Amino acid sequence: MNDAPLLRETRRHFFEHCGTGVGKLALACLLGRHHPAFAEALRHGGAPHHEARARSVIFLFMAGGPSQLDLFDYKPALQKHDASPAPDSLLAGKRFAFMDTFSKERPKLLGSRRKFQQHGESGAWVSDCFPHLAGVVDSLTFLRTVATDNFNHAPAKIFVNTGSTRFGRPSMGSWITYGLGSECEDLPGFVVLQSGPRGPRGGALNWGSGFLPTRYQGVPFRSAGDPIVDLKNPEGVTRRSQRASIDLIRDLNRMRWDATGDDEITTRIASFEMAYRMQTSAPELIGLSGETPAALALYGVEPGAPSFAANCLLARRLVERGVRFVQLYHTDWDHHADLGKPFEETCREVDRPCAALVRDLEERGLLANTLVVWGGEFGRTPMGEVREAGKAGRNHHIEATTMWMAGGGLKPGVSLGATDELGFSAVEHPIHMHDLQATILHLAGIDHTRLTFKFQGRPFRLTDVGGKVLTEIIA
């Protein structure tokens, strides 16, 4: 991995630069499955810029925007001023997705209906929606002032994942696997797991590889049926005949690569080889075979039933096997209309599994080198939103929200940043989403200013032209 992007236009360019993540992985495929260099290249990929604290990253993405004011950011003043018109000074110059701040009737403040308590030695405030997470707060690192750039779901999700609201940029998982390669021979380096009533807005753009070689895009695993589409051979196709077909296609692709030097050809070779190996590794992995009843109970997994809980357990199994980046999407956090029963049910689906993942990783000695990240694309407003009589929700809010991380070289049991008495804006240590991205890359051993790729005449990076590492939370 070099400071400047590489142009691999010829065979000579390829062999000159095969020490990079792309080169070593491509070389492994070109040399053939059983060549000694193959396993070595897959294990190590590119070289980190500095000592990595996290070998793997698990991003628990709560798609839709969780309400930090009903989960983690306790505001007695908001309770006191419940149903009062929001101050003009609070709303001046601000825009919201579904709230008119220019009408004569001012939006009203909404105090949380949840009960908050302090937990652990750290004294972190957590609401009654997360009783299980409350039990692991001393292992968590809270970021209480995370701000972002866009208040609409799809561009905001894409911004968290790619550092840009524009479509077509590489996702964080793609940047990390491009920079470091994968330590797993039989599974993709970047895996995506989904749960909830639908996929996240923006879809595959959230885990795409953009202008990076397509081998670095996220691979979605399905929660029901075959984990990967077409994982099983058609009737009449034997393992031996399939191997012969793949070898023939590989040789033809090598000939084409010799003529063009196109990186996408090496990606194609690697994809065929990976798919062949996954026919054996993926079913055993997804089936959770070997997990004890106690482990299933810890997460709340019902064998054979797809769920966010099963995905959390699967995430632990993936990082155990060396997968570099695992992203779990849980949708249904867009609570505009009702912070009552629907909100409680959504919280219940993730509370126990998230806490179990942290406990399980810690007990197995994996949390020290696995970074867990939890959060959505933005937070929720202190002002309420009434779409149905007798019920209230909250609007999208980009000024400040709460996220948490765990493991991977962080200081546990600490919080960074603070919001004002109503929870609207940061008053202490504002954190931008680019800062979060820079910190994740740093913990993985990557300098976010040096991991670049030249595209359309200029170098690009995940954090664009911003981002600073949050050194205050690093152990």
What is the tens place of the pLDDT at every residue in 140-187? 999 999 999 999 999 999 999 999 999 999 999 999 999 998 888 888
What burial class does residue 240 get, using C-beta atoms within 10 Å of its C-beta: 0-12 exposed, 13-18 middle, 19+ buried? exposed
Please give the Cα distance from 133 to 72 (Å, whole number).
11
Residue 278: the pLDDT is 64
- Nearest C-alpha neighbor of 324 from the set 191, 197, 434, 438: 191
68 neighbors 347 (Cβ within 8 angstroms): no
272 neighbors 252 (Cβ within 8 angstroms): no
User: What are the extents of the domains in the chain?
Assistant: 55-224+306-473
- Nearest C-alpha neighbor of 91 from the set 78, 104, 105, 106: 106
Please give the Cα distance from 342 to 49 (Å, whole number).
45
What burial class does residue 215 get, using C-beta atoms within 10 Å of its C-beta: 0-12 exposed, 13-18 middle, 19+ buried? buried
Residue 341: the pLDDT is 95
Q: What's the rounded mean pLDDT across residues 308-316?
A: 95
400 neighbors 379 (Cβ within 8 angstroms): yes
Helix count and strand count (H, E) for the chain: 14, 17
Say which residues have a Cβ less than 8 Å from residue 260's Cβ, sequence separation at least 6: none
What pLDDT, in 10s, does the model give residues 361-399?
Answer: 999 999 999 999 999 999 999 999 888 888 999 999 999
Q: Which CATH class is domain 55-224+306-473?
A: alpha beta
Residue 36: the pLDDT is 39
Query: Quick check: 432 pLDDT over 70?
Result: yes
Q: Give 304's pLDDT tier (boundaries 50, 70, 90).
A: confident
Total Cβ atoms within 10 A of residue 432: 18
What pLDDT, in 10s, does the model give residues 19-51?
Answer: 444 444 444 444 444 443 333 333 435 789 999
Report residue 342 as tokens.
């629907």
Residue 233 DSSP label = P
Please give the Cα distance from 224 to 337 (Å, whole number).
31
